[in-house]
Amino acid sequence: MRKYEDSIPLKLLKAREVTMGFFRPVLQEIPLTEQQWRIIRALDEHGELESKQLAELCCILSPSLTGIISRLEQQDYIQRRRSPEDQRRVLISLTDKAKEMFEKVSPVLEARYQEITAQFSRENMEQLNKLLNLLCQIKP
């Protein structure tokens, strides 16, 4: 068996913690959790989504997503509406308040990405992105 320190899941967790160290302080100022930010970011990029789509895109389990969506709705960051085509479908989208906040915060977070890139190199970032995409495609 490989050494504990060579465990891929452990290395991925450590890498996540290092990278999130660049982003957490910005999110804490808003204040938003990492999961809330992922939801806002996904909705900004994809527009209106159903909760199942949002859960899949954001890697959040559906039961957890329900509470996060409720809190974001209370903060006036998201809104829900029934689909006119199918009343059973509930569509989730960003409010104007969330869009304004996203526009202000995105450049700050992009600057943090640039700080990571400056330390890790553009080539390494591109290679890491390709390798992670490949890893995400394998089946257990």
Give the model's confidence band at 15: pLDDT under 50 very low, under 70 low, under 90 confident, else very high.
very high
Amino acid at 6: D
pLDDT on residue 5:
86
How many beta carbons lie within 10 A of that of residue 93, not counting itself?
A: 16
Taking a C-beta distance cutoff of 8 angstroms, is the pair 108, 26 a contact?
Answer: yes
Taking a C-beta distance cutoff of 8 angstroms, is the pair 81, 95 a contact?
Answer: no
User: CA 13, CA 98: separation in Å to the nearest integer?
Assistant: 29
10-16 mean pLDDT: 95
Helix (H) / strand (E) containing 31:
none
pLDDT tens-digit map of 56-104: 999 999 899 999 999 999 999 999 998 788 878 889 999 999 999 999 9
* The listed CATH number (1.10.10.10, 2.130.10.10, 2.60.40.10, 1.10.3720.10) that belongs to domain 4-113: 1.10.10.10
pLDDT tens-digit map of 34-64: 999 999 999 999 999 999 999 999 999 989 9
Give the model's confidence band at 19: pLDDT under 50 very low, under 70 low, under 90 confident, else very high.
very high
**pTM for the model:** 0.88
Does 126 score more than 90 pLDDT?
Answer: yes
User: CA 58, CA 51: separation in Å to the nearest integer?
Assistant: 10
